[in-house]
A and B are shown apart, each in its own frame.
Chain A
Amino acid sequence: MTGRATAAPRHDDPGLQPERTTLAWTRTTLSLLVVGVLMVRLLALAHVPVAPAVVGVVVTIVIVLRDQSLRHAKAVRGLVHAGMPTAPTSVLAVGGGTALLALGVLAALVWAAR
């Protein structure tokens, strides 16, 4: 009666929520990459070691990409079955990573102002 279980079940949500959410994660990860590159440039200009910033940005992006890789299918399944958990790993990675980045820039600004 039912067809074979497909990897991506269908949902009838006209708001395209999974798609919009996936795109939002992608945009934010890209923004993090761009700002991270900018920041590394600033740190290099201020003669501050750049390794922690590079490692922090790369680790954050890898965590988000890993955690979100199957998220679109999960969201579609969640809409079909009316229930899905949120993504705390990605949220904490982006929130914490950005806060650390801001802290690093603050430290570099104070360092450069001396």
Chain B
Amino acid sequence: MTDSTHSDEDAPQPASEPSPETTGRGWLTRRLFPDGAEPDPRFTLANERTFLAWMRTSLALLGAGVALEAFAADVFPHLIRHLAALVLVGTALVASLSATYRWHRVETAMRRGRPLPAPSLALLLAVGLTLTSFVLLGLVLGAGA
């Protein structure tokens, strides 16, 4: 405030503050989300965390399938073990692809102020996991008897 003798050529720059709408909108972001307005940052971050939770679920399914195949050795009959591993890994594949798709749909819906799409995969995941659990539980109990 007291520094009034300072006479550099650069004037105060109020315009240097970039507008939130244009900050960091890279090529990929503009390509994937061409229209709509930036939603509340908390919703954007929550959408990312939901995607990440689905990805960890997918990774857990993948890990379960791999562990079943690599470390179960001769506890289970081979055919059923292969089948269970295939179901687990297949579900992991579907979950990872649909989670990515859903992240895009949710973000687009929020940008346009539309209702969010329903989590259609949750039911499939619940049914598949329950069935696999029963089969494996039966096998473990059968092997222990």
Q: Hey, which bits of chain A sit against chain B, CB under 8 A?
A: 13, 15, 17-18, 20-21, 24-25, 27-28, 31-32, 34-35, 38-39, 41-42, 45, 74-75, 77-79, 81-89, 91-92, 94-96, 98-99, 101-103, 105-106, 109, 112-113
Q: Which residue of B lies closest to A32 (CB)?
A: B59
Where chain B touches its partner, the secondary structure class is helix
Q: Which residues of B contact A102 (CB under 8 A)?
A: 58, 62, 89-90, 92-93, 96
Q: A83-B21, A84-B38, A91-B103 are in contact. Are A98 and B82 (CB under 8 A)?
A: no
Nearest Cβ on chain A to B102's Cβ, whole angstroms: 10
Interface residues as binary, B62-100 with A (CB distance below 8 Å gives 1, 0 otherwise): 110111011000000000001001100110110011011
B145 adjacent to chain A (CB < 8 Å): no
Where chain A touches its partner, the secondary structure class is helix
Q: Which residues of A contact B49 (CB under 8 A)?
A: 20-21, 24
In the complex, are the beta carbons of B82 and A17 less than 8 A apart?
no
